[in-house]
Structure 1
Amino acid sequence: MKTIEFADKGPSEIPDWAIRQRYLIDTMNQAAPIYQQRYTNDDGTFVWRENWPGMDGSDDGYESYHNWPLFYALGGSEHVHEQSRFLWNSVTKQFTDYGQIYREFDGYYDWMHHGESSLYIYYFGLANPSVNRDRARAIRFAGFYMNENLALSHPELSHSVENKKNLNHPTLSNWDPAKKMIRSPINGSKGPRFINTKEDWCTHRWILSKYITPYQDLDIPTTLLPMPDGEMVYKADWNNDKVFETILEALNQRTMMCDVPLNLTATSLITNAYLYTNESKYKSWVLDYVEAWSDKIKINGGICPDNIGPNGIIGETMNGKWWGGYYGWRWPHGLNTIIEPLTIAAMNAVLLTGDYNYLDIPRGQLLKLMDLGRTENGQLLVPHRYTDEGWTSFKPLAPKHIAHIWYMSMNQKDYELMNQFPDSKSTWHQVQPGRGKGDDIHFGPWFCYIDKRNPNYPNLILQEQLSEVFRRMEKIRNDTGDPEEWDVHHWQNVNPIHTEGLLQLTCGGPQVIYHGGLLHVRLRFFDLTQNRPGLPCDVAALVSDLESSSTTLELVNTSSVVEKTLIMQAGAFGEHKFTDIQDLDLSNNTYSVNSKEVKIILKPGRTVRLKLGYKRYCNNPSYDQPLNC
């Protein structure tokens, strides 16, 4: 590994953003233990109710700490890392006892919720890939979708899988290898859930009453009511037992034996196993599945169908309709649960192959919708739902999926698409308060910063993320409610760890796509002295420019007395390569690297500004780290 010690230019004035960055990290290190102590028993389980039925909820338990190992990988404390593992085990135990978890994975649920849960285990690979138990889990969990290690023997099934021949039986396995499809939208460690019961849905019927009805032709009373964004839709009362029975029967008959776009999020789980093992079977599975869906999109005239029947036929159980599937074009969210899994899967395919053409899959959907859009008051409105009446729910397109495509492609046309959003010239210059559920609401201001149109963004985002820590800690101190009455989302709503700003500024990449995406960044750091991932204590980093073949980075050693030695890795998984490094303060000093990693020595109180030459997506991605953590 090449070592670079830059020419000493004398003491530097420590920039304000560097002080703020280090203070944010220190503050979150202090906040995490207080949050944990407030809401957990000595064994790490939540102070909560004794019973929790249904299939929903374990994802919310995991979401309460899911970003702790990522924070550690960015530079958070060893204590946060240790507790993140302790708490994962505690959540797993608690929800196993409740009944949702089987073999350390949800027995059955959909991939929006599996995706939320799985972020936690993906971040373990970034924190420390040498933990054998994590590797074993990654292989076992992937096996649930490759007809390996299913061991489907539990009280709800009247059978036991004893040999490999049985694993492809259509009532047992999640994966149909011949048709390259996942057999049900409800799936997991217990296999596909073709028949959902009343109990499966019992804890979230009240939430589903807030959304559009799944179907238009059911004999149930409906009322035209607004969605939170003002869209008027017909809603039904899922809390009415007769209404609920009618809806559930229709769901079982029409959608529970179908593959749906949401299942593409499973590609992250399989890629996770590949990042541990480098076994080609995982890569092949991901590419086979992505390409199978790409073929279905082509067959359907360029629009992604939202249901594929058990024989691999579009609309097979929906009277020929390509719309109306589970978490599809109509119900409950429309476009978002189509484009999000397409984007996640395409980005995973690019990571594994370096082939940017996979981005045409989500990009093509977005371009189709923009073509179907209409302009009102100078703003493009695109359809977000397809119903029996055709395209409907016209509203502004959220930029985040085009943004992820642009970030990965660095394509000029994708850049131009980003600049078509009117907000890119107005509200994107502002940092909104809060962080959103996914800690991902500041992509627009960050994009404008990278585009040289929002120069104060680093200070603003660091201040806002710090303010959010203080707001949440205040809520924790004043949280005097009865735990028995708390909603299952209670804890995640006050989790004081935030990573969006740190990812953008230190790693030069966006927050992950929340419902199950992997981390895609330009670089990450390792502390050679402490033999761990993340920025060394007192070191701050700022990525200020991104080009297809370069990244501009500022590194600051805020310590006045201690020299710092760190390793930079190109990409979250070493998927990129540094070609050279130019010292921008001494323009004649360019160092040849030609490696995915490089060692940097920073003298006390010094700042260096670097231009990192890149060749992107040229290396095999892996969780392996450049030191023995």
Structure 2
Amino acid sequence: MTDPDRPPTLLTATVPVGTPPVWAILQRRLFDVLDDAWRAFADRYCAPDGSLYYSGPVADRDGGDDFYEAFFNWPVLYRLGGSDELLDAAKHHWRGVTEQLTELGLVVDEFERGYDWFHLGESMLLFYGICAADPADPEFRSRAHKFADLYLPGSPAGNYDPAARIIRAPHNGAEGPRPGLQKEWASYGAELGMMRPFGLPLHDLGTIATWDDLADPDNARRMGEAMNARIGHGDTAVDLAATSLAVNAWLYGHDDRYRDWALDYLGAWHERAAARGGVLPDNVGPNGVVGELHGGRWYGGLYGWSWPHGLYSVGNAAAIASLNAALLGGADELLDLGRAPLDEVLAHAVEAPVTGTDMSISDRWHAELGEDADRPTLLVPNRYADDGWFDHQPPQLALPLWLWHASGADADRERLTRIRKASGYDWRTVRAFRNKEEGGHEAPWLAYLAGDNPDYPAEILRVALGQAARRLELITADPTDPAGLHIHHWQRVNPVLTEALLQLTTGTPQVLYNGGLLPTRIAYWDGRRGRPGLPPDVAALVDTVTPDRVRLELVHTGHSYPRTVVVQAGAFGEDRIDAVRTETADPGHPGDPRAYTAPEVTTRTADIPVGAGHVTVELPPGRRIRLDLRLTPRHRRPAHQSAVPTR
């Protein structure tokens, strides 16, 4: 327990920086570039009211997520130490986009009218980020409760059926369950070329056996009607991401209505999975029966195992569910929601190259693996249909990585080790690419944490700087009328990148993109300015992450002003720092001015008891300090942190 009589732990950095480490210079450069970048994006694509310039078509239900996604990681950058103005900018754009989408008919009372949680989760990342960055804001706190209330039992919205323990329709939101699918799919024909790589949504409609059969208008109509009647009703596994709404609201004041609903809903899905051997089914009918609308099949639901994405959608929702269960202090068995799907697909893995293997999403893997796409490597099936597992792709490392981050369990860490051993490429290679999630560099980061990729910090920062520079050039050279842009254009050129900063400064992977919260292992506060994030001039590097230990270094790269850094264990204050091993320098620096070189610096280590959730570090200019934190995980209930911690 925290010792109330022990004074707050105050450390002073005394070790001279000397020749600055490359990673520290690059990290501070990245903060500077990103500060210019978000302003350039806003100037080019945003109206004065914060909305996006756009006058193109909007689908019946789809598209709202794309507007919010343009800013999804801006509050995260603020939490890490981005510009003081960035938080207000993020709020301004959230309000502007919300009003814009209200006028377009996709949002009602500030929440999406009704859509699937594969996309709703993407929409919510900006909102969750704002809540975590400024939980003292009563406006967003009120919204957090209002949005979560939409899913509680007894809500007038009626999204949840407490008897069947289901969300009543795959499309749900401010107006409650919204049965059916978007009207653009009322006739699902072969002209929908972008969907062709994912194949047929349903495989049991008699004469419709191949994609080309959908060229027949009658077949297209039959497919659309069947999709609306079956895929458009009941509950689906991606709805598990809705529990993030409840956890976000619970983090404000621990109103257990939200915790109770989330754990009950997660428990219902866990029971359904356990009933069929552990692997999460993807659909539940209106009466709470798995397979009720799919001839008894546990697969076939919207964004489920069969269509269109399989593991990419179900696995993300399951990982989000596991993370939320851990935050709520739920039973460890609830983490099996995320574990079992991964273990199942790994049991059916093959060894083959990405090049030449039939897979629904290949361009991503060609970018991530580069020349190694031609080498045989571990491929896991992403989808399942009547003929068994298919659509083999490389494992999405973010899923097992977040499971280990949530649990700290040896078995979850060992799963990552097994995947690395079976991979046919060098995990230490850092490649310059972007994907939609602004992630994908988990392999070289894990190799760095394992101690065998020492150049990773500088390399990933170079990659991030190059990506930011490229996107700034794309913005500057963009010749199009912003009002006529493709609805995905903004997220493709969003120049804010947070993956490298999250990994290096907090020891945390990039957020789960389809609706995950972001419980970073380490959080920082600027003690002099009273706001979250690293102070100006200060760089941070985490090089060790285990359940009960985090080791990091702080470097003051400036030469003028002292900085005060509060280092907190857990973004939501959930962990306790039991002790810290640190170092101090012996006197002698900077030495005799007549000498050609500075004197050699000798240091001494000391173990200091802490017994609190944070330590405070005074960093004089040109000084650095290493902190080896020994932790008790989940010592407290996690909560949004609204002020600089003082105890």
TM-score where L is the length of structure 1: 0.90
Written as runs of structure 1 = structure 2, the 5 A alignment for 1:24-39 is: 24-39=30-45
The residue number in structure 1 matching 2:361 is: none
Determine whether 1:290 maps to 2:266: yes
Task: Please point out which of 595, 599, 602 is paired with 2:619.
Answer: 602
The residue number in structure 2 matching 1:530 is: 529
Report if aligned partners of 1:510, 1:520 keep a CA contact under 8 Å in 2.
Answer: no
Determine whether 1:56 maps to 2:62: yes
Report if aligned partners of 1:551, 1:613 keep a CA contact under 8 Å in 2.
Answer: yes
Report if aligned partners of 1:62, 1:117 keep a CA contact under 8 Å in 2.
Answer: yes
Shift of 1:221: 5.7
Moved more, 472-481 or 376-385: 376-385
Tell me, in whole angstroms, the C-alpha distance in 2 between the residues paired with 1:527 and 1:578: 19
Task: Please point out which of 205, 209, 215 is paired with 1:218.
Answer: 205
Task: Please point out which of 234, 247, 258 is paired with 1:258.
Answer: 234
Name the CA shift for 1:7/1:112 in 2 (closer, same or farther; >3 Å). Answer: closer
CA deviations over 1:133-190 (Å, ceiling 9, x no partner): 1001100100111156x6xxxxxxxxxxxxxxxx4xxxx5110112221111111111
Provide the secondary structure at the position in 1 that maps to 2:322.
helix
Tell me, in whole angstroms, the C-alpha distance in 2 between the residues paired with 1:507 and 1:201: 46
Determine whether 1:198 maps to 2:183: yes
Tell me, in whole angstroms, the C-alpha distance in 2 between the residues paired with 1:598 and 1:202: 60
Report if aligned partners of 2:263, 2:325 keep a CA contact under 8 Å in 1.
Answer: yes
Report if aligned partners of 2:523, 2:571 keep a CA contact under 8 Å in 1.
Answer: yes
Q: Which runs of 5+ in 1 are unaligned?
A: 151-166, 224-233
Task: Please point out which of 53, 63, 80 is paired with 1:47.
Answer: 53
Q: Which runs of 5+ in 2 are unaligned?
A: 1-6, 354-375, 585-602
Task: Please point out which of 118, 121, 124 is paired with 1:115.
Answer: 121
Tell me, in whole angstroms, the C-alpha distance in 1 between the residues paired with 2:283 and 2:16: 64
Provide the secondary structure at the position in 2 that maps to 1:427.
coil
Name the CA shift for 1:7/1:484 in 2 (closer, same or farther; >3 Å). Answer: closer
Provide the secondary structure at the position in 2 that maps to 1:428.
coil
Task: Please point out which of 271, 279, 289 is paired with 2:247.
Answer: 271
Task: Please point out which of 163, 168, 176 is paired with 1:178.
Answer: 163
Shift of 1:48: 1.7
Determine whether 1:136 maps to 2:157: no
Report if aligned partners of 2:116, 2:239 keep a CA contact under 8 Å in 1.
Answer: yes
Aligned CA RMSD, in angstroms, stands at 2.4
The residue number in structure 1 matching 2:28 is: 22
Shift of 1:54: 1.2
Provide the secondary structure at the position in 2 that maps to 1:545.
strand
Name the CA shift for 1:133/1:45 in 2 (closer, same or farther; >3 Å). Answer: same
Name the CA shift for 1:105/1:5 in 2 (closer, same or farther; >3 Å). Answer: same
Shift of 1:413: 2.9
Tell me, in whole angstroms, the C-alpha distance in 2 between the residues paired with 1:344 and 1:406: 12
CA deviations over 1:404-432 (Å, ceiling 9, x no partner): 22233333333332122347673321111
Shift of 1:521: 2.0
Tell me, in whole angstroms, the C-alpha distance in 1 between the residues paired with 2:132 and 2:495: 20
The residue number in structure 2 matching 1:306 is: 282
The residue number in structure 2 matching 1:68 is: 74
Determine whether 1:500 maps to 2:476: no
Determine whether 1:82 maps to 2:88: yes
Written as runs of structure 1 = structure 2, the 5 A alignment for 1:322-401 is: 322-353=298-329, 355-375=331-351, 379-401=377-399
| Amino acid corresponding to residue 416 of structure 1 in structure 2 | E
Written as runs of structure 1 = structure 2, the 5 A alignment for 1:488-567 is: 488-567=487-566
Tell me, in whole angstroms, the C-alpha distance in 2 between the residues paired with 1:424 and 1:450: 18
Moved more, 518-527 or 346-355: 346-355
Tell me, in whole angstroms, the C-alpha distance in 2 between the residues paired with 1:395 and 1:503: 26
Report if aligned partners of 1:461, 1:501 keep a CA contact under 8 Å in 2.
Answer: yes
Report if aligned partners of 1:330, 1:386 keep a CA contact under 8 Å in 2.
Answer: yes
Name the CA shift for 1:334/1:302 in 2 (closer, same or farther; >3 Å). Answer: same
Tell me, in whole angstroms, the C-alpha distance in 1 between the residues paired with 2:387 and 2:161: 33
Name the CA shift for 1:38/1:590 in 2 (closer, same or farther; >3 Å). Answer: same
Name the CA shift for 1:619/1:221 in 2 (closer, same or farther; >3 Å). Answer: same
Count of residue pairs the alignment pairs up: 597
Name the CA shift for 1:394/1:16 in 2 (closer, same or farther; >3 Å). Answer: closer
| Amino acid corresponding to residue 199 of structure 2 in structure 1 | I
Shift of 1:260: 1.0
After TM superposition, what 4+ stretches of structure 1 lie above 6 angstroms from structure 2?
200-204
Name the CA shift for 1:34/1:379 in 2 (closer, same or farther; >3 Å). Answer: closer
Determine whether 1:247 maps to 2:264: no
Determine whether 1:415 maps to 2:405: no
Name the CA shift for 1:190/1:206 in 2 (closer, same or farther; >3 Å). Answer: farther
Tell me, in whole angstroms, the C-alpha distance in 2 between the residues paired with 1:501 and 1:354: 30
The residue number in structure 2 matching 1:433 is: 432
Shift of 1:237: 5.4
Moved more, 363-372 or 178-187: 363-372
Shift of 1:471: 0.4
CA deviations over 1:578-625 (Å, ceiling 9, x no partner): 111111465542221111122211111101111011111221111123
Tell me, in whole angstroms, the C-alpha distance in 1 between the residues paired with 2:508 and 2:205: 45
Tell me, in whole angstroms, the C-alpha distance in 1 between the residues paired with 2:98 and 2:32: 29
Tell me, in whole angstroms, the C-alpha distance in 2 between the residues paired with 1:140 and 1:202: 36
The residue number in structure 1 matching 2:600 is: none
Tell me, in whole angstroms, the C-alpha distance in 2 between the residues paired with 1:8 and 1:509: 28
The residue number in structure 1 matching 2:4 is: none
Tell me, in whole angstroms, the C-alpha distance in 2 between the residues paired with 1:628 and 1:5: 15
The residue number in structure 2 matching 1:155 is: none
Report if aligned partners of 2:398, 2:509 keep a CA contact under 8 Å in 1.
Answer: no
TM-score where L is the length of structure 2: 0.87
The residue number in structure 2 matching 1:231 is: none
Name the CA shift for 1:455/1:184 in 2 (closer, same or farther; >3 Å). Answer: same
Shift of 1:248: 2.5
CA deviations over 1:1-44 (Å, ceiling 9, x no partner): 71422363445432111111011001110111111111122222
